[in-house]
Structure 1
Amino acid sequence: MAEQHTPRSLIVSLYGAYGRAPDNAPLPVAELIRLLAVLGVDAPSVRSSVSRLKRRGLLEPRRTRDGAAGYALSADACQLLDDGDRRIYTTAEPKLSDGWVLAVFSVPEAERHKRHLLRSRLGRLGFGTAAPGVWIAPGALYEETRHTLERLRLDPYVDLFRGEHLGFAATAEAVGRWWDLAAISKLHEEFLDLHEPVLRAWTAAPGSARDAYRDYLLALDSWRRLPYADPGLPAELLPAGWPGGRAAAVFGALHARLRDAGAAFVRSPEEA
C-alpha cells in the first residue's frame, strides 16, 4: 500500500518531534523548506501548508533572533501537541478499571452544523457510538476531550460523564458494536507492513543522521494517527491476535533508535 503523507501533516509532525523549544522559538521558513525537502515536499507546498496552518490558528508568524521570517506554535497548537504526546508515546497498558468517559450532546436545530462538527471531532478523538447522541471512550481520554471541546468552543453543547460498565451485554461484545475493530486492525497491519521493514533495516545496518530524520518523521507521521483511530481498549476486550501491541512496539523501537539520531540533522545539515 502506498502511504500518503500530506505536507500539512508532515509539518505538524515536524513541529511535534523537533520544533518545540522551551521558549517556543520560531522555526525559520528556510529551515522548514530544507527539512521538508528531505521528505519530497517542495518549497511552494511548504509555504501554502504553513499558510493554512496559520489560518487555523496553529502557527504564528514571528521573527527569529537574527531577524529571519519564521513560525512558532500557537498556545492551542502547544496544547494539541501535549495532548497528542500522551497518546503517541504512552507505554501504559489500558485497564478495565480505568473506566469510561461518556459524551452526551444536544445541539439546537438552528446550530445543527455544530452537531456534525461534534460528531466528527468525537470520532477523531477515538469515541465510539453507544447510542444516538451518546458517545463512549476509555476514561483516559477525558482530559484531551475536555481540552478539545473547549478549544473548539463546543463545550456548552456537551455533558461529559465518567462511568463503568455494569451490564447487561458483555462489554467485549459491546465494543464490537461501538467501534469498527476490523478497520482499526487493518490500520495497524498497514503500519506494520510499511515500517517493520524499516526497523529491520536499521537493526541490520545503521544509516546517517539524515536517514534517521527521514525515517523517523515518516514513521511518526503514520503512527500519530493510529492512537486516535484506536482508542486504546483493554486487551481483554479485543479479538485474539490484535496487532496493536506489535505496531506500538515497532514505533517505540523506531522512536528510541531514530528520534535523537535525526535531531543531529535538524540542528545541522552538515550531519547528513
Structure 2
Amino acid sequence: MIFTIYGDYIRHYGNKIWIGSLIHLMKEFGHNEQSVRVAVSRIMKQGWLESEKVGNKSYYFLTPRGEARIEEAAIRIFALNPKKWDGKWRMLMYTIPEEKRRIRDELRKELIWSGFGSIANGCWISPNNLEKEVHLLIKNYDIQAHVDFFVAEYQGPEKNRTLVEKGWPLQEIAEKHQQFISTYSKKFMEHQSMMDKNLMSDAECFVARTMLVHEYRKFLFFDPGLPKELLPEVWSGNDAAKLFEKYYRLLAQSASRFFEHVFREDNDIREKNEFFID
C-alpha cells in the first residue's frame, strides 16, 4: 500500500514525504502508526527508500532504484491499450551455477515482473521491447558470464501464438481480469451514484482510488502486457483496463484534493502536478 501511495501520489510531489503525513494517510486504511513505521523500515532495508532529518522531522523518499521501479510500474499500469508488435522476440537464456541460487531466484522474479515467460528451463521470452531492462538486470546481478540475450524472429514450426501458450497461462490471466471486472464494476456504479449525490467525502475517494490502483497493479505480477497481435480476439484485459480508466477518472480529483490537504500541512510542495490519465 505504501508503494501504491508513492506511485500514485508522492512521486508527483517531489518523491518525499514526512513520516507523520504518511502515517495520517495510512490510517485511512486502518493501519496504525507502529505498523507504518515497521513497514517503512523494512522497505528501507530492501533499498527502495531513503530518509533525511529536517529539524526533528524524518522525511522519506524513493531511492534511484525505487524511482525506476515506480516509473516502470506506472507506465505499465496506465498503458490502457495493447501495444503494436514489431514481430520480434526478446530471449534471455542463462545457466547460473547452484552456488548462486539466490541470484537465480531473484532474477526469475524480476523477469516475471518485467513480463517475461518461461518456455524451457533457463529460457525466457518476451515480445515487448525490454532490452534496456534486461541489460540493467545483467549489470545489477553481475551475471554477464552466465547469460545470453537475443532479439530474434520465430521461424516455426508452430505459430507465434504457440509460444504465448507455452510461456503464459492466458486462460488464468483472463479469469483474473474477469474477477476484477465483476468486483469493481459494482463498486464503480455504487460510487458513481454516491458522488452524483455528493455522498462521498474526499477521504473516501482517496481510499477508493488507492485501493483501485493497489488491486489493479497486481496484474503486473502475472499479466505480461502482450501486444494485441498475440492476444485472443476477445480479451477480458481490454475491458478491465477500460473499467479501471473510468473508475480512476471518477475518483481522481477528489482523491488528489484529500492527498494535497494532508501533504500541504507538513510538506513543502515545490510544484503541483496532479496525476490524471491522459
TM normalised by structure 1 equals: 0.86
Structure 2 distance, partners of 1:270, 1:15, is 12
Q: Is 1:17 aligned to residue 3 of structure 2?
A: no
Partner-residue secondary structure (3-state), 1:205: helix
- Map residues 26-65 of structure 1 onto 2, 5 A cutoff: 26-64=16-54
Instruction: Give structure 1 stretches of 5+ with no counterpart.
Output: 1-9
What value does the CA root-mean-square deviation take over the aligned residues? 2.4
1:126 and 1:229 in contact (8 A); partners too:
yes
Letter of the aligned partner of 1:49 in structure 2?
A: A
- Map residues 77-92 of structure 1 onto 2, 5 A cutoff: 77-92=66-81
Of the three residues 170, 177, 184, the one matched with 1:195 is 184
Q: Is 1:213 aligned to residue 196 of structure 2?
A: no
Residue 36 and residue 148 in structure 1: after superposition, are their counterparts in 2 closer, same or farther (change >3 A)? farther
Structure 1 distance, partners of 2:56, 2:252, is 29
Higher relative contact order (CA 8 A, sep 6+): 2
The answer for the alignment partner of 1:233 in structure 2 is 226
Structure 1 distance, partners of 2:113, 2:57, is 36
> Once the two structures are aligned, what percentage of the paired residues are identical?
27
Partner-residue secondary structure (3-state), 2:162: helix
1:198 and 1:215 in contact (8 A); partners too:
no
- Map residues 11-160 of structure 1 onto 2, 5 A cutoff: 11-21=2-12, 23-24=14-15, 26-64=16-54, 67-97=56-86, 99-154=88-143, 157-160=146-149
2:206 and 2:256 in contact (8 A); partners too:
yes
Structure 2 distance, partners of 1:38, 1:134, is 44
Partner-residue secondary structure (3-state), 1:231: coil
Cα distance, 1:116 vs structure 2: 2.3
The answer for the alignment partner of 1:176 in structure 2 is 165
Structure 1 distance, partners of 2:123, 2:216, is 28
Bigger Cα displacement from structure 2, 127-136 vs 256-265: 256-265
Letter of the aligned partner of 1:126 in structure 2?
A: G
Partner-residue secondary structure (3-state), 1:97: coil
Bigger Cα displacement from structure 2, 82-91 vs 95-104: 95-104
Aligned length: 260
Structure 1 distance, partners of 2:246, 2:214, is 15
Q: Is 1:255 aligned to residue 248 of structure 2?
A: yes
Residue 199 and residue 126 in structure 1: after superposition, are their counterparts in 2 closer, same or farther (change >3 A)? same
Instruction: Give structure 2 stretches of 5+ with no counterpart.
Output: 265-278
